[in-house]
Copies of this chain bind each other. A is one copy, B any other.
Amino acid sequence: MTIEMVAKAAGVSLSTVSRILNGTAGVREAKREAVDKAIAELGFVPNPIARGLAGGRSMSIGVITQAIDSPFYGAALRGIEETLDPAGFSPLFVSGHWNAATEARCITMLHSRRVDGIIVLTGRLSDQALADCALQLPVVATGRTLSSPGLYTLNFDNFEGARLATQHLTDLGHKQIAFISGEDEHPDATERLRGYRAALEEAGLAFEPKLVVPGAYHEVSGMLAVENLLSSRQPFSAIFAANDQMAVGAALALHKRSLRVPDDVSLVGFDDMASSQFSLPPLTTVHQPNYELGQLAAQAMLQLLAGEEPQIEMPAPRLVRRDSCKRMRG
- Complex Cα distance, B273 from A219, in Å, reads 14
List B contacts of A251 (CB < 8 A). Answer: 280
Interface pair B53/A50, CB less than 8 Å apart: yes
Copies of the protein in its oligomer:
2
Q: With A46-B112, A49-B53, A93-B93 given, is the CB distance from A275 to B248 under 8 Å? A: yes
**Scoring A residues 32 to 76 as 1 if CB is less than 8 Å from chain B, else 0, what string do you get?**
000000000000011111101100001000000001111100110
A131-189 CB contacts (< 8 Å) to partner B: none
Closest to A78 in B: B69
A274 adjacent to chain B (CB < 8 Å):
yes
Query: A92 → chain B, closest Cβ, in Å?
Result: 7
Q: Which residues of A are in contact with B by a Cβ distance under 8 Å?
A: 45-50, 52-53, 58, 67-71, 74-75, 77-78, 81, 90-95, 108-109, 112-114, 219, 248-249, 251-252, 255, 274-275, 278-282
Additional A-B contacts beyond A48-B113, A71-B275 (4; CB < 8 A): A45-B109, A47-B112, A49-B114, A70-B74
Instruction: List 27 A-B residue pairs with CB atoms under 8 Å apart, sorted by A's residue number.
Output: A45-B108, A46-B112, A47-B112, A48-B112, A48-B113, A49-B53, A49-B58, A49-B114, A67-B78, A68-B74, A68-B93, A69-B75, A69-B77, A69-B78, A69-B274, A71-B74, A78-B95, A90-B94, A91-B93, A92-B92, A219-B278, A248-B278, A249-B278, A252-B278, A252-B280, A255-B281, A280-B280
